[in-house]
Amino acid sequence: MLRVVYLSRSHLPPDKTAAAAELGSILEASRRNNAQAGVTGALLFTGELFAQVLEGPFAAAEAAFNRIQRDPRHSDIVVLHRGTPGAAAFDGWSMASAAAPPGIAVHPALSPPAGSGGEAAGDAIIALLRALLLRTPKGAGSRLPDGEATAAEELVRP
């Protein structure tokens, strides 16, 4: 299994409604493609940046990340960690979407010091995304469809 954890600068429109619509279409394509390819992960959009964890069979995760890197809806991709974990951190989530609370932009996991990448930086993002998923309200359009919700509940149980 391959895991890639990265940060990138969003190019979604500044208008919140327009950005939410575009994020919705990113998630829709992600869930469709990832479910088919056996890729799982989680995505956070803060309004300014994206943090994403992608994991799955090596070739599938690599192919997804190659597509994502070419997407003009973001830039300045910084890969914090790329490795082969023992187990998926977001098993059962084709692409979980974490709701961004106010002030999240200053969370230290989202601005790791230059050159501080590596597994710890990746793990800090994973911990943040998991914590945010715990707080993400159901029915806000940010959780997975029903079929995958059961696995999600398992994952976020404290």
Chain residues binding ligand FMN by CB under 6 A are 26, 29-30, 33-34, 41, 43, 50, 52, 54, 64, 67-68, 71, 73-74, 95
Q: How far is the CB of 158 from ligand FMN (least distance, A)?
A: 26
Would you tell me how many other CB atoms lie within 10 Å of the CB of residue 109? 20
Of residues 36 and 116, the one with the C-beta less far from ligand FMN: 36
Identify which of residues 74 and 81 has a Cβ nearer to ligand FMN in the complex: 74
Q: Is 6 exposed, middle or buried (0-12, 13-18, 19+ CB in 10 A)?
A: buried
CA 56 to chain centre: 13
Q: How far is the CB of 123 from ligand FMN (least distance, A)?
A: 19
105 or 157: CB nearest ligand FMN? 105
Task: Pick the closer one to ligand FMN by CB: 33 or 156.
Answer: 33
Q: C-beta of 101: minimal distance to ligand FMN in Å?
A: 19
User: What sign for the dihedral angle of Cα 69, 125, 20, 90?
Assistant: positive
Residues 140 and 99 sit within 8 Å (Cβ to Cβ): yes
Residue 137 CB, nearest distance to ligand FMN (Å)? 22
Taking the C-alpha atoms of residue 107 and residue 49, their distance in angstroms, rounded to an integer, is: 12
